Amino acid sequence: MSITADKNKSKGVTVITVAPDSESMLPPLNCPRGCCNVVSSLGTLQIMVGLFNIGLGPGRTSFHPEDFANLEAAYWLGGVFILTGIITVLVSCCPYYVMVGFAVFMNLIASIIGVLGIVLYAMDLQAASFVWLCNNKSSSDNCIYVAYYLERLTTGMDITMIVMTGFQLFASVTFTVLGFQTLCCRMKNEQGDEDAEIHKPLLKEVLMTSPGA
């Protein structure tokens, strides 16, 4: 992208001309500000969901193998969401062809991970019962109270994260669709330009060989 500035001394006006880069997927002047803001908002939402996942991870206790806490799902879910969100935000600032393609790939992966995350949270929600810890005869009413409190807390966390992961899934799918549409439009435009360049010499030759030329 090249930038030139022309100053009109008589009128005291400076005209700045921005020539878009031919390798840019969305040239700055052709990219609507609203579109860039939407992409940036989607990336910010993904980062927030990732931070929520990592932030709520340490509060979980593993009670049996292959449960949510034992798999440390909150950490790798959060890591994927944060990485995808950062790339999405960068695309809104630097919308180049390769960058958009890589962001579409990452959001596609994040969509699959999001579905897996919802399934894992739903399984953890179904198994959120801690009353069995107080089944022995020596358990007091305080143990049962704490068990029910822990159950309500875990249930609330799981429901919250299912909703948040659903938002993340929506953001990833939305960006993936927008990215595919942008890539397809770019490919069609490039194909149209190539066809125009191919037919231009033929048209010139026909005009030169016509009787009225």
> What are the pLDDT digits (tens) for 55-76?
887 766 666 666 677 778 888 8
Question: Does the pLDDT value for residue 108 go beyond 70?
Answer: yes
8 Cβ contact list (under 8 Å, min separation 6) = 14, 15
Q: How confident is the model at residue 190 (pLDDT cuts 50, 70, 90)?
A: low
CA distances (Å), 135 to each of 25, 121, 131, 144, 151, in order?
63, 26, 7, 9, 15
The H helix count followed by the E strand count for the chain is: 4, 2
Q: What is the pLDDT of residue 28?
A: 42
For residues 162-168, average pLDDT: 93
> What are the pLDDT digits (tens) for 27-54?
443 455 566 788 888 999 999 999 998 8
3-state secondary structure of 15: strand
> What are the pLDDT digits (tens) for 128-156?
777 766 776 556 677 777 778 888 888 88
User: In percent, how much of the chain has pLDDT > 90?
Assistant: 23
For residues 161-165, average pLDDT: 91
Question: Does the pLDDT value for residue 110 go beyond 90?
Answer: yes
Question: Does the pLDDT value for residue 196 go beyond 60?
Answer: no
For residues 154-159, average pLDDT: 85
Q: What is the pLDDT of residue 126?
A: 81
Q: What is the pLDDT of residue 168?
A: 94
Read out DSSP for 95-146?
-BHHHHHHHHHHHHHHHHHHHHHHHHHHHHHHT---GGGG-STT--HHHHHH
Q: Please, are residues 95 and 103 in contact by the beta-carbon 8 Å criterion?
A: no
Query: Across all residues in the chain, what is the average pLDDT?
Result: 75
The Cα–Cα gap between 169 and 27 comes to 28
CA distances (Å), 104 to each of 22, 93, 114, 181, 203, in order?
20, 15, 15, 11, 39
